[in-house]
Amino acid sequence: MRKFLPLLLLLILLSGMVEAAPRIVVLPLQNEGKPQDSWYVLGLTDAIARMVNQANFGVGLGWRTVREGLLAESLGRKRELSDEDYENLLDRISPDYYLRGSYLVEWAEELGEEDRYSVEIAALSWPREEELFHIRFTGTDLFAIEVEIYTELRLRMGEPLDDEGLELAKELIIADASAYRWYCRGISTVGSSAQELGYLTEAVNRNEAFWVARRELARVYLEEDDVRHALSELLTVYREQPEEPWTLKYYGDILSALNEKEKSNRMYRRAGLVDEREWRLHLELGALLEEMGAVTLAERSYDKLLLKDSRFYEAYRGLGAILLSRGEYHEALDILKRGRSLANDEAEYIFLLGQAYSYNGEQEEAIETFHRAVLQAPTNGEYAYELGYAYYRNRENVKADEWWREASLLGYSPEDPLAP
């Protein structure tokens, strides 16, 4: 299961039911200045996406999702992306709207002068490419620019901000402004956790009360198997933010690494109480809890994903797998068929659907579906074996033997010693 996690944020974006909240992708803007300024845009995209999610008028997708899309398209190693690369990416993730543009940081040359930021943004629908707005902001306060972009986006989406909403947006953006840039640099590092660790450490050193950066610092320590430092940083955050859902989630991860399973589950349960607006959290929690066998908790997160947006592919996949494991085959087939149009021929999803057909006695459909799974993953012995079993249940013993032989050649041995 864990090996599929890098693609989850990409797969949830595939097209589906039209009544769901709009998905808005903030593409990386083009840096018109110095190469070392490139960190800024990643912070901006994540800020806009985060505000969209918290406002609950859409599903905002920032640099994390785009990065996964680039990796899935084998574009992650490119220094520069062409218009065709971006078109391929948008085709793959199929958003409702996307933001694209450029930025320039003009650093102050004289002591006492302020840095200036110029950001140009165009918002367009996809795939019709109808322009919602095209605006350019220049100023000395990058946080004010982000609020302006967000305000314009809300207005064009038919969800204008009132005075109270505008103040909340400003508070969200400008909180801990003194360390914000360093935090953005930390989370935007793709290839080096040691570099990320350095940036986040500097952010915390600059502002000891920068709880988001300290929380992410704990996450990176844990990824580096430094559980002692991870726990120390996380406990500092937990004392200040005992109900913050990501803090609880990371605390659960640390406790799990310490083999404190009961305490870990308690933290995950508390994190899962947050509403559906925290969809990124529920996406990670659902997959993690399903893998741990805490299926009731996993179901809650998957259900909240579907409350947020009915196009969350992973929710259908996760719920289908859980229902199959319980022997609720009819319900599993129903949920997997509902999400089938989102799967985009992803092998694992097709395989689960094939199992649901087979367990419901629909062997012809199972055989056809398993063949599709084998076509997508020809070296997967389990898929070949289950195709053989579908033929066996359909009383086609010769073909069953052929596929069991193929599964054996691929190195697959069924867990059931009584199985053919």
3 state SS for 37-90? HHHHHHHHHHHHHHHHHHHCCCEEECHHHHHHHHHHCCCCCCCCCCHHHHHHHH
Read off the CATH number of the domain in which 239 is found. 1.25.40.10
In a domain, 41, yes or no: yes
Domain identity same for 142 and 231: no
Domain identity same for 121 and 64: yes
Domain boundary among 229, 253, 271: 271
The whole-model pTM stands at 0.69
Q: 168: domain range?
A: 1-175
In a domain, 112, yes or no: yes
In a domain, 285, yes or no: no
Domain identity same for 11 and 146: yes
Residues 6+ apart with CB under 8 A from 254: 218, 222, 227, 230, 231, 234
* Per-residue pLDDT tens digits of the chain, which is 420 residues long: 343 333 333 344 333 333 467 888 877 777 787 765 665 666 666 667 777 776 666 676 665 566 555 555 554 445 566 778 778 778 877 788 888 888 888 877 776 677 788 888 898 998 888 998 898 888 887 777 778 888 888 888 888 888 888 887 777 665 555 556 666 665 555 456 777 788 788 888 878 888 888 998 999 999 999 999 999 999 999 999 999 999 999 999 999 999 999 999 999 999 999 988 888 889 899 999 998 889 999 999 999 999 888 888 889 999 999 999 999 999 999 999 998 888 777 889 999 999 999 999 999 999 999 999 999 899 999 999 999 999 999 999 999 999 999 999 988 887 654 444
Domain identity same for 39 and 186: no
Domain boundary among 239, 254, 271: 271
CB 96 within 8 A of CB 196: no
In a domain, 1, yes or no: yes
In a domain, 293, yes or no: no
Read off the CATH number of the domain in which 131 is found. 3.40.50
Query: What is the total count of domains within the chain?
Result: 3
In a domain, 340, yes or no: no
| Phi, psi for 226 (deg, rounded to 5) | -95, 75
In a domain, 32, yes or no: yes
